[in-house]
Amino acid sequence: MPLHPDLEAFLELAALAEEEGRQPMSAMSPVEARISYNQSTLVLDGIGPAVPVQEIALAARDGAALPARLYRCPGTHSGTPLPTLLYFHGGGYVVGGLDSHDALCRTLAHRTPCAVLAVDYRLAPEHKFPTAFHDAEDAALWLAAHGGAHGLDTERVIFGGDSVGGTLATALTIAARLAGRTQPLLQLLLYPCTSIRQDSDSHRRYASGHLLEQRTLQWMFNHYLRSDSDRQDWRFAPLAAQDLSGLAPAHIVLAEYDPLVDEGHAYSERLRSAGVPTQVDIHAGMVHDFARLSQVVDEADALRSALAQTLAAAFQRPAASPQPDVWVFHAHPDGLPFEVRLGAKKLTVGHPGALERTSHWTLHEQPGAPRLEWTREGGEDLPESHLLAAIEATFARHPECKTLSLNAPPESLVRLLDVGAVQLHSNAHASVAREAFWQLPRLWQRKPREPFVQRYTLSQGKRHPLRPAKPAGTVYQRHIPWLSQTLTFDTVDIERDLPTFNRWMNDPVVAHFWEEQGDLIQHRTYLEAINADPRVTGLIGRFDGEAFGYFEVYWAKEDRIAPFCEAGDHDRGWHALVGEARFRGKPFLTAWMPSISHYLFIDDCRTQRIVIEPRADNRKMINSLGRCGYAHVKEFDFPHKRAMLGVLLRERFFAESLWIPQDGNTISPPSA
C-alpha cells in the first residue's frame, strides 16, 4: 500500500520547512530537540480525554526521584484495584516525557477499564545507558511494592511502550525472567527498537523522508550509548539476548514505512521460535510514531481503540503465579563473570546468559551462622572459581556474619587453606573467616600481582622501595548489593577519558576543591604528567560502566604528604573527585570510598596504612572519611592549602569489615 495521503502531505510540509531553514533534530542540541519535540505535541496529537490523573514520584536505586503520572479509567469502582499498564514513552532516550505522550496515555486509560502508569525515566546524554533501563526496572519494582497503596492490582500488570519505550518494556520482561520475578500479562510493543545495528533493508529504504530518519536515530543512540560495545547488550538490543523463552505473550504493532519494521519482524520471529505467543499487527501506509499523530491521520485513533481491546482482553487472563523471590549477586573471581542466584535456600553459580555448567548449593541462613553446602548436582568436580563466587555472595547476603560454615570437597579448598582464609575442623567441615577472605586479591582484581621484590632506590632525594610497573585496564571490580550495580576502577585512557575529565574539572563543585580548571590542552598535559609519574596512577571509577569520578592513588613515601605522616615503605594514599552530580549521594559514597581503600590494601599485602589529606574546610568529605574508618589525626599546612590528615589502618579495615556501610541497608532486595 502506498504511503497514506495525509501522512504524505504532512511529510512534504516537514521537508519544505527544512528546505526553508528549519533545523532537523539531528542538528539540534538535546535541549533544543526536547523543546521542539514537546512544542509539536499539541499540534500533532491534541489534548486527550479528561480522566482522573495523579502525579507521583518514584524512587530510583540511586535516590533520584522519577516523575510518573497515574491515569485511571473514569467511572471504575473506587474500591476495586485496577489492573495497570506500565508505560514507557519513546523518543530515542533523548527526547520525550510525560507531556509528549499524555494524550495517548489518557486515551488508553479512558477506553480501557484500567490504570496507566507512565514513567518519566531520565534522558541522555545527561544519563547514559543503562540508566533508562535501570529507571524502568525501578519503576516496575515500585509498582510491585507500592501499587496496592494507590489502588492498583499488582498481579495484573502489562508492560508497554512505543519505540525505545517498547525496547524498555520487552527488556524489562527479559530481566523479570532472569531475576525470577513474575511475568506481566502481556508485553505491548509499539514499533520497538530491537536490533544491535540499524542496517536492515527497511533502514535503507526509509532512511530519510519518513519521519524517523537514520541520521536522527544515530544522533539519539550516540547520545545514549557510552561506547559501541553497549550495542551488544540486550537491554539496548533485545535481539542480542541469547534466550527469549519463558517471556510473557507479546503484541507488536508495526508500521509499513518505518525504518524499524524489519527488526520488529525479526524480533517477533525470535519470540515465536522461543515459544512465546506473539501477535503482530502491521499498519499499512503508516510511519514510525503514528500512534501520536491523531491530528494528522485517523489511523492513530483506530489504533488506540484496537489497543484498548487488546489490553482489556489481556487483563481478563488469570494472573501469573508469583515466582519465589530470587536474590541475584554478581561475582568476578579471577576476572571471570559469575551470576549467583538464591531462592528458597537453593543457591546456584554460573556464567550469566551462558549454557555452561552451573554449580548448585544449599544455603542454610540461620542468624549469625550461615552454612553453605555444595550439593554435587551438575558435576563431580567443583571449580574453585564457583566456590569463591558462592562464598563472596554468602557474605554479601549476610554482612553481619564474621564466619560461615562450608561443606565443600577438600581438594577445592587447598589454596584457601594455604593462604589462611579457610580453617578445617575435626568434623570435616570448614569455616571461612570474613576478615581473611576479603584480603584475597583474586576476588576483586582481574590480574593480581605478587608483592614486588624489596629493593630500594632514590628519587627526588627520597629513599623508597622500587615500585612495580603501573597497571593498565580494570584494576578492581566489585558488585555493590545495595545498588545492584558493579563498581570498577579503570586506569585512565587519555583519548577515551579526556573530554569527561575536562568537563569534571570545570564543574564548579569540583573546581572549588581541585582548582584545576582549564581547556582540553591543559588537561591533556595534566593527565600525561600523571601517566609519566611512576608513583601515581590515575583511575576512572564507573558504576555499571558509567564513569562517575576520577581517582589518583599514590605511594605515600614518595609523596608530598610523607613528612607529615611518617610514611611507611608501602603506605598508600588517594585523591578523588566525583564529577557526575547524580553519583554524589550517600548510597554511592558508601560504595566507592571503602572500595578504593580495599583496592589499595589488596594491591600489596604489605600496605598497612592509607593516608589522605583533604582540605581542612571540606567538612563533608572529612565526615564521610570518618564514617568509613579514617581517623582524623591532625590539621597541617601545605604551601597551597590547609589540610586534614586522615589515616586508615589495615587491621581496622578488615577486622571491622569497613567495606560494609555502618548504617543503612547493605543488601539488594529480592530480584534486584
What pLDDT sits at residue 328?
A: 85
Task: Judge whether residue 295 has pLDDT over 70.
Answer: yes
- If one compares 75 and 424, the residue with the highest pLDDT of the two is 424
Computed over its alpha carbons, how large is the radius of gyration of the chain?
28
Q: Are 449 and 469 in contact (CB under 8 A)?
A: no
Cell of 391: 562464598
Q: Are 172 and 192 in contact (CB under 8 A)?
A: no
Cell of 447: 590480574
Which positions are annotated as active-site residues?
163, 258, 288
Average pLDDT over residues 82-86: 97
Q: pLDDT of 24-53, one tens digit each?
A: 888 999 999 999 999 888 889 999 999 999
Whole-angstrom CA distances from 526 to 80, 489, 516 are 63, 19, 9
Alpha helices in 355-441 (DSSP H): 384-397, 414-418, 434-437
What pLDDT sits at residue 355?
A: 43
Q: Are 183 and 173 in contact (CB under 8 A)?
A: yes
Task: Judge whether residue 61 has pLDDT over 90.
Answer: no
Which residue do the cell numbers 490504570 mark?
A: 115
Task: Judge whether residue 641 has pLDDT over 60.
Answer: yes
Among 577, 349, 337, 353, smallest CA distance to 474 is for 337
Q: Are 277 and 245 in contact (CB under 8 A)?
A: no
327-442: which CATH number, 3.40.630, 3.30.450, 3.30.70, 1.10.940? 3.40.630
Task: Judge whether residue 668 has pLDDT over 50.
Answer: no
**pTM, two decimal places:** 0.65
Q: Are 445 and 667 in contact (CB under 8 A)?
A: no
Q: pLDDT of 526-581, one tens digit each?
A: 999 999 999 999 999 999 888 999 999 999 999 989 889 889 999 999 999 999 98
**Is the peptide bond preceding residue 352 cis, with omega within 30 degrees of 0?**
no
DSSP reduced 3-state for 30 = helix
> Whole-angstrom Cα distance, residue 609 to residue 565?
10
Task: Judge whether residue 80 has pLDDT over 70.
Answer: yes
Alpha helices in 433-487 (DSSP H): 434-437
> Whole-angstrom Cα distance, residue 373 to residue 363?
6
- CATH fold group of domain 5-315: Rossmann fold (3.40.50)
Phi, psi (5° rounding) for residue 26?
-65, -15
Phi, psi (5° rounding) for residue 97?
175, -160
What pLDDT sits at residue 325?
A: 66
Facing residues of 485 across strands? Answer: 480
User: Could you give the percent of the chain with pLDDT greater than 90?
Assistant: 65
Same fold, 5-315 and 452-655: no
Among 93, 101, 121, smallest CA distance to 30 is for 93
- For the chain, the structural domain boundaries read 5-315, 327-442, 452-655
Q: pLDDT of 271-290, one tens digit each?
A: 999 999 999 999 999 999 99
Q: pLDDT of 223-245, one tens digit each?
A: 999 988 889 899 999 999 888 98
Q: pLDDT of 576-599, one tens digit each?
A: 999 998 888 888 999 999 999 999
Helix (H) or strand (E) holding 476: strand 474-480
What pLDDT sits at residue 26?
A: 86
DSSP reduced 3-state for 230 = helix
What pLDDT sits at residue 344?
A: 74
CATH of domain 452-655: 3.40.630.30
